[in-house]
Amino acid sequence: MIANLANLFRYRGLIQSLVARELKARYRGSVLGFFWSFFNPLLLLTIYSFVFTVIMPGLHPPDIEPFALFMFCGILPWTWFSSSLIEASSSLISGGNLIKKVLFPAEVLPIVNVLANMVHFFFGLPILVLFLIYYRHPPDPTDLIWFPVTVLVQLIFTTALGLLLAALTVHFRDLRDILSNLLTLWFFATPIIYSIQSAPGLSKRVLDFNPMTHIIVSYQEILFYPGQIGHWKWLLAMGAASIVLFLGGYWVFDRLRDSFAEVV
Amino acid sequence: MRRLSDAFGDTKDTKDTKDTKEDRNVGVIEAPVNAIELTNVSKIYRKYTGRQFATLKSALLQRSIMRDLQPDETFPALSDVSFQVRRGSTYGVIGRNGSGKSTALKLVAGITKPTTGTVRVEGRISALIELGAGFHPEISGRENVFINGIMLGLTKRQIQQRFDEIVDFAELREFIDAPVKTYSSGMYMRLGFAVAIHVDPDVLLVDEVLAVGDEGFTHKCLDKFAEFRRRGKTILLVTHSLNLVERFCDDAVWLDAGHAKSHGDPKRVVGAYLTAVEQSEEQLLAETTAKAVDEATREAQASHAGEGAAEQPADPTSNMFQATEGRWGSREIEILDVVLLDAGGHASFVFHTGEPMTIRFRVRAQAPTDDFVFGVGLFNAEGICCYGTNTYIEEMTPEHLIGEAEASFSIDSLDLVEGTYKLDVAVHKRDGYPYDYHRLLYTFRVKSRTRDVGIYRPKHEWRFSPNVHFKP
């Protein structure tokens, strides 16, 4: 397993070109092309803003202003997380040809999905910057050094889950459907369209068990809330846990590796 | 995973490859003799039935995950197969569909692992198993060449160097910037083949890919293989083209239902394989014939009971050339059975062009009679009558027939081209009134090593003036 992990480093050229291919192929043939990377989060945000400011203004917590900016800080990384998992879970099945007919390192497939979605996440950042400028809501520069850390933690966490899901979905196809429903639940169980402070006592403790809570709250503290980041201990703990989860996920993947070519 | 990582450059820390490198420095003579070694290899595929598709949830609830992951049934794709491929030789793998050929190739490629036994391969492998397996339809041929090349273990720079060669080999220069989804299947395969062959492997695995492309491209592929051989590369070839194995391979193995039935000299292996194919074909033909006779007899009996008269075409000669099988007649003389005999007098269903064949039929006359004609007709698969005759046409005058009797129709030399043939056998009166007419109930195959065409092969010989020469 350790040797295989070390090999991952060798595949960087392969991973790099596959990520590039994924991005190129994604919007090939569409009129707006790459602009969809910007528009998609923007449209999603517009919908949520419409719901929370026009249709149900009562649900909009009064202390969080501007609310659209707050939501955007959560929606952007959440989109990265959820689309990565959905794509990664079926990556081995859709890449079956490669696994069955070519000598190909299978773990590259879910990793490429996670990375390609990370690039989309990066493309969404300029929009976030525009929002910050528009609302005259500059983040604390010292907080910003935590931003790459948060991205890294999310990357490791997402990759770990992606590997695990990809390997298990080969054997249990039902996981794909379970996952899409689970992600909807997970979205509402994460403080994205509400703030963790507004959650009542018991549910806050429940939210603390959700790893995504800490990642999203970190983004919010870095980009939205003024003042020092208060969540860094949680974030680092999450980072450590993610590394353990990644090793566990990779171990499961490695154990099931030989079965892929037969079962896919 | 060893070979996989080797494919991606940077091979220093893997021991086996280092050995190979040193071997190369010392010289070819001291290098390991075998490029590929399979030792007592078995591969058992697991078959899952119903339970496998239970949901994860139910599996969790019943705590049966481990049980559900256990196979219900196993299928041995390869059983205790061993063979060695010498470095620099070309090795053929033949066998029926489902005999384990592709499994063997996948094991050598390292795509799947053997259940027991060991597979050892020296050097870099390129597998032509499925061409263009990694192509993405939306992006251009150019980009796909690069990504496919990287997947097969080349670096960007190496691909750049070989790019023109690859494109020229695939004959796709004008389409290289079009998305691959617009390619025809032939173009797709050609590009896949071109990339795979330019990986410059030490060991090339080929799975029935010469069927791609047109005649010209097939020739080019064969030339490329020949070049590989000259450069001392090892080729493992899985194919149904026995001709190719005989012409091209130094050794061959014949796999049958996962067992290595025979290996060694390709001519001998192909011969053994062909004999076995004939035997099973023979069995199949025997079953077909038995079924046809059985059905026709039952139908005849049914209509006999219903109408009280034998069903008979209004004029049997009118639809002589319309081939529908059946049996009719009054059965005053009944054909009991019909066998085809080969040169040795053994019942057979497969014959070779030029061999003798005897059609022997046993009949039984219920009452003594002096009006009887024996007849036979030979039809090819299209229902064309190749030959028909009877004792009346040949001016034999019947005198007496009583009880059980036997008639044989012997052909000295079966001068028919390869194909499946059907047989008419009949006993009737001189005016055509049928005693027992068996229409197209007996099937046999004629095999030939010559691919000549038509119906009939006259005995022939080519002669030339002295200034015309052929290779021996």
Cβ B151–A104 below 8 Å, yes or no? Answer: yes
Q: Find the closest chain A residue to B105 by CA distance.
A: A101
Per CB-CB distance under 8 Å, the chain A contacts of B16 are none
Q: How many helices (H) and strands (E) does chain B have?
A: 11, 18
The interface residues of chain B toward chain A in range 100-119, judged by CB-CB distance below 8 A, are 106, 109-113
pLDDT > 70 in chain A, percent: 98
H-only helix segments in A56-95: 67-89, 91-94
pLDDT score, position B64: 55
- B341 pLDDT tier (thresholds 50, 70, 90): very high
- How far B249 CA lies from chain A's nearest CA (Å)? 24
Q: What are phi and psi of B254, to 5 degrees?
A: -115, 120
Cβ B130–A105 below 8 Å, yes or no? Answer: no
Per CB-CB distance under 8 Å, the chain A contacts of B106 are 261
User: Which of B9, B134, B143 comes nearest A102 by C-beta?
Assistant: B134
CA B71, B77, B81, B87 torsion-angle sign: negative
pLDDT score, position A60: 67
Cβ A174–B55 below 8 Å, yes or no? Answer: yes
- B305 pLDDT tier (thresholds 50, 70, 90): low
- How far A81 CA lies from chain B's nearest CA (Å)? 23
- How far B219 CA lies from chain A's nearest CA (Å)? 24
- How far A180 CA lies from chain B's nearest CA (Å)? 15
3-state secondary structure of B135: coil
- Burial (CB count within 10 angstroms: exposed 0-12, middle 13-18, buried 19+), residue B386: middle
Q: Find the closest chain A residue to B125 by CA distance.
A: A103
Q: Find the closest chain A residue to B66 by CA distance.
A: A171
Q: Find the closest chain A residue to B153 by CA distance.
A: A14
Is residue A168's pLDDT more than 70?
yes
Residue type, A122: F
- How many interchain CB pairs under 8 A, A with B? 93
- How far A100 CA lies from chain B's nearest CA (Å)? 7
Q: Hey, is the C-beta of B45 within 8 angstroms of any chain A C-beta? A: yes
The interface residues of chain B toward chain A in range 59-88, judged by CB-CB distance below 8 A, are 59, 69
For strands B333-341 and B357-369, give the pairing: antiparallel
- How far B133 CA lies from chain A's nearest CA (Å)? 6
Per CB-CB distance under 8 Å, the chain B contacts of A17 are 146-147, 150
Residue type, B377: G
Q: Hey, is the C-beta of B9 within 8 angstroms of any chain A C-beta? A: yes
pLDDT score, position A84: 95
Contacts 24+ apart (CB under 8 A), A51-59: A52/A193
Q: Interior CA angle at B125 toward B119 and B126, to 5°?
A: 130
pTM: 0.73
Q: What is the mean pLDDT of residues A67-78?
A: 89
Cβ A102–B129 below 8 Å, yes or no? Answer: yes
The 3-state secondary structure of B247-315 reads: HHCCEEEEEECCEEEEEECHHHHHHHHHHHHHHHHHHHHHHHHHHHHHHHHHHHHHHHHHHCCCCCCCC
pLDDT in tens, B256-302: 888 888 888 988 999 899 888 888 888 888 888 888 888 888 887 77
Q: Which helix (H) or strand (E) holds B434?
A: strand B434-447
* CATH 3.40.50.300 boundaries in chain B: 2-274
Cβ A178–B125 below 8 Å, yes or no? Answer: no
| Average pLDDT in chain B | 81
Per CB-CB distance under 8 Å, the chain B contacts of A3 are 1, 5
Q: What is the CATH number of domain B2-274?
A: 3.40.50.300
pLDDT score, position B23: 41
B49: its two tokens: 């039935």
pLDDT > 90 in chain A, percent: 36
Cβ B7–A103 below 8 Å, yes or no? Answer: yes
Is residue B63's pLDDT more than 60?
no
C-alpha span between B258 and A118 (Å, rounded): 47
pLDDT score, position B19: 41
* CATH 2.70.50.60 boundaries in chain B: 282-447
pLDDT score, position A152: 95
Residue A18 DSSP class: H
User: Which of B57, B109, B133 comes nearest A98 by C-beta?
Assistant: B133
- How far B258 CA lies from chain A's nearest CA (Å)? 17
C-alpha span between A220 and B34 (Å, rounded): 63
pLDDT score, position B427: 93
pLDDT score, position B184: 86
Whether B24 contacts B31, CB under 8 Å? yes
Cβ B150–A13 below 8 Å, yes or no? Answer: yes
pLDDT score, position B209: 65
Q: Interior CA angle at A84 toward A79 and A88, to 5°?
A: 160
- B333 pLDDT tier (thresholds 50, 70, 90): very high
- B318 pLDDT tier (thresholds 50, 70, 90): very low
Distances (CA, A) of B471 to A73, B213, B244, B468: 80, 29, 19, 10
| Bond from prior residue into B266 cis (ω within 30 degrees of 0) | no
C-alpha span between B238 and B101 (Å, rounded): 7
Give the count of beta carbons closer than 10 Å to the beta carbon of residue A165: 26
C-alpha span between B84 and B82 (Å, rounded): 7
For strands B350-352 and B434-447, give the pairing: parallel
pLDDT score, position B315: 46
- B314 pLDDT tier (thresholds 50, 70, 90): very low
Protein fold of B282-447: Coagulation Factor XIII; Chain A, domain 1 (2.70.50)
Is residue A150's pLDDT more than 80?
yes
Q: Hey, is the C-beta of B152 within 8 angstroms of any chain A C-beta? A: yes
Q: Find the closest chain A residue to B155 by CA distance.
A: A13
For strands B251-256 and B259-264, give the pairing: antiparallel
A258: its two tokens: 């030989």
Rg (CA), chain B: 31
Q: Hey, is the C-beta of B138 within 8 angstroms of any chain A C-beta? A: yes
- A258 pLDDT tier (thresholds 50, 70, 90): confident
Q: Find the closest chain A residue to B137 by CA distance.
A: A25
CA torsion B218→B196→B133→A80, rounded to 10°?
A: -160
Cβ B8–A3 below 8 Å, yes or no? Answer: no
- How far B109 CA lies from chain A's nearest CA (Å)? 7
pLDDT in tens, B388-442: 999 999 999 999 898 899 999 999 999 999 888 999 999 999 998 999 999 888 8
Is residue B50's pLDDT more than 70?
no
pLDDT score, position A238: 92
pLDDT score, position B409: 94
Lowest-confidence range among A59-68, A200-209, B436-445?
Answer: A59-68
A256: its two tokens: 């099931």
